[in-house]
Amino acid sequence: MSQITYYTAEGLKKLKDELHQMKTVQRPAISDQIAEARDKGDLSENAEYDAAKEAQGLLEMKISKLEAIIGNARIIDESNMDNSKVFILSRVKIKNVANGMEVEYTLVAENEADLKAKKISIDSPIGKGLLGKKVGDIADVTTPNGIMQFEILEINR
């Protein structure tokens, strides 16, 4: 289950900051809630205690998952990247073959995807369809509405 994922330095820092927040702020807050609920007496009928313990379990699961992601994360060295094909961190200008609409996306790791910033995941249907393509290639992308075709117009870093 240790799948290596690639991140920008900025994206990995964001994950580490989130982990730090969980460990230093959220974990102590939940511990305080548990202690407060425990002080109220009988634990067998204490809904606050049950809720706090459940929240603690969920938080610990999130922390564990995030630690595994960070442990398997690799920062991409953008200086050695090949611009002839679409890879992670490629900024790709594509044209929808059916309607001629042009759009530009940057392919990123799933946790860094942000459609408003035009960053799409390499695991998304469009991302998967574009990977490995060259300028001039037509990418067939399977969507719920059928197969869409995109022409690769430009590849940048």
Q: Which of 100, 76, 84, 95 is nearest to 133 (CA)?
A: 84
User: Tell me: the pLDDT tens digits for 51-78?
Assistant: 888 999 999 999 999 999 889 888 876 6
Task: Please report the beta strands in 26-101, taking only residues with DSSP state E, as ranges in sequence order.
Answer: 73-75, 91-96
CATH 3.30.70.120 given to domain 78-156: no
User: Tell me: the pLDDT tens digits for 94-153?
Assistant: 999 989 899 999 998 888 888 899 999 888 999 999 988 999 999 998 888 889 999 999
Number of Cβ within a 10 Å radius of residue 80: 6
Quote the CA–CA distance of 89 and 67 in Å, as a whole number.
23
Q: What is the pTM of this model?
A: 0.66
**Which residues are registered as beta bridge partners of 143?**
146
DSSP 44: G
CA distances from 69 to 4, 30, 97 (A): 8, 23, 37
Give residue limits of the domains in the chain.
Answer: 5-75, 78-156
The CATH number of the domain covering residues in 5-75: 1.10.287.180
**Which residues are registered as beta bridge partners of 119?**
106, 114
